[in-house]
Amino acid sequence: MRAAFIQSLIESAREDKRIFFLVGDVGYSLVEPFAQEFPDRFVNIGIAEQNMAGIAAGLAMSGKIVFTYSLANFPTLRAVEQIRNDICYHDANVKIVASGGGLSYGALGPTHHVTEDLAIMRALPGMTVVAPGDPVESALATRAMASRPGPGYLRLVKTGDPVIHQSPPDFQIGKSIMVKDGSDVTLIATGGIIYNTVQAAEKLVEKGVQARVLSMHTIKPLDVEAVLAASLETGGIITIEEHSIIGGLGSAVAEVLAELSNVNVTFKRMGMKDSFCRQVGSQEYLQKLYSLSAEGIVEETLQFLRKEPPG
């Protein structure tokens, strides 16, 4: 996803001279092409993410479109006060790009596990929150964010992520993408975990289950119409995210369902419980621990479908 992001950002910067790119002393072997082509619009702020947010806000207030970039916990959790007061309060045109969302940096431990960011960014007034599902969505999301006014959060996974879209889909902020249709259950996923979700849906076919798969790349604003359609047209909804089940995709969908009238649908959130991931290992290893592998999603879905609907 990161490689697709930087290429798309370069293309956007060629078209719009207002685009600036700030980094927190990371991204070596990735960000150099932008720095070389646009040296006057690239700044390595250093390991000072709070300062980076403030500088980005200042540039945005002078008419620039600013992208900031660092490893996911640091431009978000470390700088949340500056994001709130400097960027969001002033509706500044700053796009915070986080690399390594979820458990991407699993071997580095809890300080690098990024499992609360969607909840925190989603709670900030005026913030658009996007977590693309594959490199194709990443490139499209970057261009969409560049042209969308106001604060934005773009959550990326890493380089080398598998592709799920063989051709560019219709990408619109606030509109999900139906990757696979089905009527037995809807699997709504956000971010890179969409690949495991698609793999799970294919395995579920072998079990006689037709699952609809939605890539809910935008957490805020959420695609309410897609959630409503899933509640009316399929046998239940499961949200899947490499994030805490509190405050992220699952909470956003639950809020929509709670306010819908005359809708009776079974619902489940998959993700991390209300605890730190104290395990250390590869992303794939940690996904298995939290039933976020394709096999885990299959098993959780089959158990979910065996339950009686409420009321």
By DSSP bridging, strand 185-189 and strand 237-244 are parallel
* CA–CA gap between residue 230 and residue 224 (Å, rounded): 10
Q: Residues 113-152: pLDDT tens digits?
A: 899 999 999 999 999 999 999 999 999 999 999 999 999 9
Query: What is the distance between the alpha carbons of residues 66 and 92, in angstroms, rounded to a whole number?
Result: 9
Query: Taking residues 49-64, what's their average pLDDT?
Result: 97
Residue 188 pLDDT > 90: yes
Distances (CA, A) of 134 to 193, 198, 201, 216: 9, 12, 17, 12
> For residue 88, what are the β-bridge partners?
none
Contact (CB, 8 A) for 122 and 279: no
Q: pLDDT category, 310, cuts 50, 70, 90?
A: very low
Cβ atoms of 107 and 74 within 8 Å: the answer is no
CA distance 237 to 253: 9
For 115, the enclosing helix (H) or strand (E) is none
* Confidence at residue 207, expressed as pLDDT on a 0 to 100 scale: 95
Give the domains, in start order, of the chain with CATH numbers: 2-155 (3.40.50.970), 177-305 (3.40.50.920)
pLDDT digits (tens, 9 = 90+) for 197-225: 999 999 999 999 999 999 999 999 999 99
Q: Tell me the CB-side half-sphere exposure of residue 243, using CA atoms within 13 A.
A: 34
The pTM assigned to this predicted structure is 0.94
Q: pLDDT tens across 219-269, in order?
A: 999 999 999 999 999 999 999 999 999 999 999 999 999 998 788 899 999
What whole-number distance in Å separates Cα of residue 203 and Cα of residue 86? 47
The angle formed by the CA atoms of residues 288, 293 and 295, to the nearest 5 degrees, is 105
What are the E-state strand segments in 245-308? Answer: 267-272
* Amino acid letter, residue 131: A
The two tokens of residue 159 are 């380089």
pLDDT at 308 over 50: no
DSSP per-residue string spanning 209-263: --EEEEE--EEES--HHHHHHHHHHSS-EEEEEEEESSSSHHHHHHHHHHH-TT-
Alpha-carbon span 38 to 21, nearest angstrom: 9
Please tell me the distance from the alpha carbon of residue 119 to that of residue 263, in angstroms, as a whole number.
25
Q: Is the pLDDT of residue 76 over 90?
A: yes
DSSP letters for 32-65: HHHHHH-GGGEEE--S-HHHHHHHHHHHHHTT-E
